[in-house]
Chain A
Amino acid sequence: MTKLVQYPSGAYVLERDADRTPVLETYHLGIDFGGLSAVNNFNIIVGPTEISGLIGPNGAGKTTVFNLLTKVYQPSKGTILVNGHDTSKMSTVDVNKAGVARTFQNIRLFENMSVVDNVKVAMHNSMHYNPLTAIFRTPKYYKEEKRIHQKALELLDIFNMSDLAETEAGSLPYGAQRKLEIVRALATKPSLLLLDEPAAGMNPNETKELMETIRGIRDKFNIAIILIEHDMSLVMNICEGIAVLNYGRIIAKGTPKDIQNNPVVIEAYLGKPEQED
């Protein structure tokens, strides 16, 4: 069992990550939609090799947190640090370049493109040739395209998807589409991967496989992962730290064991026990 230790700031982090800069820190993060606060005073710290879970009842604001972290929404309050860098002036694109990649709750693939092209799109920023090179097809174009094609296939191969490379992404089965979204996110070489309900719509066997995949990603790419998930067996099994969100606020943080026995969490999920007369 992994042990949690305290940072000087008081936040808990995995023992093995204690000496390294956290991949993500948020302080007093919040957003209001027309006076209604959707997320409020959201503070977390994620170590560079941690798998952490973000759970909570429907409508608690979990996806909103992801949208804040990736700057799809601009936060109304608070700061986000990615690898120690302030992201307040960054756009979604900049945040991705700073090392945050994500998947989406409702799958957002480039459906009309082939599987390998979906991955290559995500490698856009690691390719080096300009539009003139592309139009007049200098040797550099061929060299770069070949290199990136090889890399994309290698990445797909890790997920046993290289034989689907030329298939249209939209025609893949559901589970494969979810997996492709993860591959695409990894193609941007992130240091933090955000997974929004990766197990949604999967059967128990697929979920089990996914669990191994997620752990495998962390070990192979040596990155941090935050996942939003409703499947408690998955969360409790692979997450090392968990934050519980309700009505836009964190109501509990800790190891899976702490969370399972926390009365506040049980109340948020199941409601207050009825008072007897």
Chain B
Amino acid sequence: MKKTIRKIFDKKHISRTISYLVVIAGFVIIQLLMNTIGIKSLFRSLLVPTCCYIVVALALNLVVGVSGELSLGHSGFMAVGAFTGIIISGLLEPYLAINWLRLLIAMFVGGIMAGIVGLFISVPVLKLQGDYLAIVTLAFCQIIKSLLNNVYLGVDINGLHFSFVENRISLAQGGRMLLSGPMGAIAITRLATFTAGFLLILFTLLIIYNLTYSRFGRSIMAARDNRIAAESVGIHIRNTKMLAFVISAILAGMAGALFGLNYSTLQPAKFDFNLSILILVYVVLGGLGNMTGTIISTMILYALPELLRGLQDYRMLIYSIILILIMLVTNNQTLKEKTENLITKIKSRFLKKGSVAHD
């Protein structure tokens, strides 16, 4: 028992422990607030999307921070997960009344679909490096969006009906459209809950940390830090990068499914290039490879535009300026040194007090 506790707090695992603690503390605080003084409905509606963005940002950090490849396609994986999840949930609705189970299945299948798509893309894409990879993933995200804009899918007693580009589906009585081109999915049964979002974040952290502290994590980081040396000790660069990429895609797909099932309507246009950039901003601000930082930066930056709603037209202008300022401040070397000095000073003072108390 003592050994386990020591292991949780030792130097190597402390960052992992902090990540879990931050997430659990956040969940408990928000639950308490909801049950006591209550939260404005605006903020309540932000809870699930925030969880989804945190998961996608963590997933992207696995690719950008841990594996060291720039991907701009994560909104594409989210879209695949979202619409797969919506379709699965829609198909299961008449047969399965338990909401959480349907949500779980939808998220699972959504994640798997996104993973398969990720695997397909990673084969040609991971032959490239750096900027080229970023551009190709960006193109991929546009392709997914355009494809989804043209898919019509309906279901009735005769089964599934599918058409592409034009809506030529005529459904029998009692049939429903699952996807209708640019209008996306309409009349979705909203299954997503804050608790599900919280659990998905924990699951994501579990996967990312467990992967990082394994032979695969070591080789992913080795491939990032020194490609030639990694190859010279028998590490297959493309396979390790592919592993990180596909797992990241699966997680983004699961978050997408949860995201999609949080709204009653969802258009493919929602998952555009801007979304990929937005998530990348969360990752960069949170720190490459820093999971706790990613969680906190996502919470702050996602809530910020909503907090600035009172400024109306100037909202995005102010938001952009704040973003630039945050980036400048967090990357300021002298400021970093000063805060570090301050922390060591505080630490030494506390330690001194502690030793006095001992005497």
Chain A positions near chain B (C-beta within 8 angstroms): 70, 72, 91-93, 96-97, 101-102, 104, 108-113, 117, 120-125, 127, 129, 131, 134-137, 141, 144-145, 148, 184-185, 187-188
Please tell me if the beta carbons of A136 and B218 are within 8 angstroms of each other in the complex: no
Report which of B210, B230, B234 forms a contact with A97, defined as CB distance below 8 A: B234
Q: Which residues of B contact A96 (CB under 8 A)?
A: 231-234
In the complex, which of the residues A104, A112, A124 contacts B219, with contact meaning CB atoms closer than 8 Å?
Answer: A124
Q: Which of A129, A131, A148, A184 contacts B233 (CB 8 A)?
A: A184
Cα-based distance from A145 to B237 in the complex (angstroms): 21
Q: Does B214 contact A (CB under 8 A)?
A: yes
Contacting residue for B210 out of A111, A112, A135, CB 8 A = A135
Residue-wise, chain B 210-229 has the 8 Å CB interface mask toward A (1 for contact) of: 11001111110110011011
CB distance from A113 to the nearest CB of B (A): 7
Contacts of B218 in A (CB 8 A): 113, 117, 120-121, 124
Q: Chain A residue with minimal CB distance to B208?
A: A135
Chain B, interface size category, equals 20 to 34
Beta-carbon contact of B235 and A121 below 8 Å: yes
**In whole angstroms, what is the CA distance A92 to B216 when docked?**
19
- Chain B, 189-246, CB within 8 A of any chain A CB: 206-207, 210-211, 214-219, 221-222, 225-226, 228-237, 243
> Beyond A96-B233, A121-B230, is A111–B214 a contact (Cβ under 8 Å)?
no
Closest-CB distance, A233 to chain B (whole angstroms): 28
Q: Min CB distance, B122 to chain A, in Å?
A: 14
* A108-B229, A110-B222, A110-B225 known; A134+B215 contact, CB < 8 A: yes
Cα-based distance from A108 to B216 in the complex (angstroms): 20
| Contact between chains at A134 and B216 (CB < 8 Å) | yes
- Tell me whether B232 and A70 are in contact (CB under 8 A): yes
User: How far, in angstroms, from A117 to B214 measured CA to CA in the complex?
Assistant: 10
A92 touches B232 (CB 8 A): yes
Dominant secondary structure at the B interface: helix
CA distance A120 to B216 in the complex (A): 11
Least distance between B225 CB and chain A CB atoms (Å): 5
Residues of B within 8 A of A104 (CB): 228-229, 232
| A101-B233, A184-B233 as given contacts; A110 in contact with B219, CB under 8 Å | no
By the criterion CB–CB under 8 Å, are A127 and B233 in contact? no
- Bound Cα distance from A108 to B229, whole angstroms: 6
Q: Which of A91, A92, A113, A134 contacts B214 (CB 8 A)?
A: A134
Question: Top 9 nearest A-B pairs by Cβ distance?
Answer: A134-B214, A108-B229, A122-B233, A96-B234, A92-B231, A121-B222, A125-B234, A110-B225, A127-B215
Query: A93-B234, A131-B243 are contacts. A113–B229 as well, Cβ < 8 Å?
Result: no
Question: With a CB–CB cut-off of 8 A, which chain B residues contact A184?
Answer: 233
Given A109-B226, A129-B214, A131-B211, 17 further pairs, Cβ under 8 A = A93-B235, A93-B236, A96-B232, A101-B232, A101-B233, A104-B229, A111-B225, A121-B218, A122-B233, A124-B219, A124-B233, A125-B235, A127-B215, A134-B214, A134-B216, A135-B210, A188-B234
A120–B247 alpha-carbon span in the complex (Å): 23
17 residue pairs from A and B, CB less than 8 Å apart: A92-B231, A92-B232, A93-B235, A93-B237, A108-B228, A108-B232, A122-B233, A124-B215, A124-B233, A131-B243, A134-B211, A134-B215, A135-B214, A136-B210, A137-B210, A145-B215, A188-B233
